[in-house]
Structure 1
């Protein structure tokens, strides 16, 4: 059977919304079909089982959260210093705020991965590839900081975004600009 890639993407986007709204327990073929507005049974034609669907959702989440080529080019036209790293950290927060469903779905997938070894393997591979991409990007773009700097920023920003999305009263009183500047300064060091 020939698969329609646009429909497959729509199903994955619907699955992200279902995960964000209802959690992993609510992720059923029926719920995905309903959210995507397609006939019942469509999702099961595209994904062999829930683990397959969840693994593909993890990949789709990372695709949706990648900054545009235009945004990257604009940023890389600026001096490659600490202020550019601060700009990239702000961009991460903006993208998280703009697509909260992706981060919430990813949280659900991470929790579900603790109970599903196949999903854990797939999700680990996807997230490890994402981290390695960020490290390589930092090195190839000649941005300040080494491998460990990127790792520290990655985990700090991940934790911050999760708190911001799930318990916003903790992060709301913080000055976002100050938080990011101090984080980057401590990860990279002073000029």
Structure 2
């Protein structure tokens, strides 16, 4: 296996694009080579098989979807409140729209995991870590609410993101900002 980190990252980014554009069935090592603009067989030199590629896509999407620490530090200068929670959720939607491919790729991975038990285990572990990290971050930041509040916000925002990615016209009459305002008003205690 090759160990050029920049090339591996470029191949993973290409794989994310293929997964987002073509779905799971379109994700082949050859398709990744084509999307990355590299010679045929390059992806095979970096990933032993498609299953390994799928596992590493999960890690790369996590990297791509992690908020910019400088921007997050600026946002977190505000006093912890329901209003700050709503701002953070709006920023989540903005990040999703800014990297639509990563979110679509993750949806494809979720679907693929229903057919591949080994991927199901990896995906469950990845999402469990993400949810636990989000809960801990929310509580450590002093934002209003408890573990259940974060879980409810996570589940609701997952639905918002899926609909915005797949059937955006469904939410247009309601407006994402309005949805987030109602969600926070009804989910965050004491606000």
The bucket for the TM-score relative to the shorter chain is over 0.9
Question: C-alpha deviations, 1:32-58, integer Å up to 9, x for none?
Answer: 011111111111111111111111111
Q: CA deviation at 1:95?
A: 0.5
Residue 143 of structure 2 corresponds to: 143
Residue 89 of structure 1 corresponds to: 89
Q: CA deviation at 1:2?
A: 4.9
- Looking at structure 2, the residues matched to 189 and 144 of structure 1 have their Cα atoms a distance apart, in angstroms, of 7
Q: CA deviation at 1:143?
A: 0.9
- Looking at structure 1, the residues matched to 113 and 55 of structure 2 have their Cα atoms a distance apart, in angstroms, of 10
Q: CA deviation at 1:76?
A: 1.1
Are positions 1:167 and 2:167 aligned together? yes
- Looking at structure 2, the residues matched to 163 and 119 of structure 1 have their Cα atoms a distance apart, in angstroms, of 24
TM-score by length of structure 2 reads 0.97
Q: 2:3 aligns to what SS in structure 1?
A: coil
Q: CA deviation at 1:175?
A: 2.0
Q: 2:70 aligns to what SS in structure 1?
A: helix
TM-score by length of structure 1 reads 0.97
Question: C-alpha deviations, 1:40-96, integer Å up to 9, x for none?
Answer: 111111111111111111111111111101111011111111111001000000011
Matched residues, number = 191
- Looking at structure 2, the residues matched to 158 and 69 of structure 1 have their Cα atoms a distance apart, in angstroms, of 22
Moved over 6 A (4+): none
List alignment gaps of at least 5 residues for structure 1: none
Residue 25 of structure 1 corresponds to: 25
- Looking at structure 2, the residues matched to 12 and 130 of structure 1 have their Cα atoms a distance apart, in angstroms, of 20
Deviates most, 6-15 or 167-176 = 167-176
- Looking at structure 2, the residues matched to 146 and 15 of structure 1 have their Cα atoms a distance apart, in angstroms, of 37
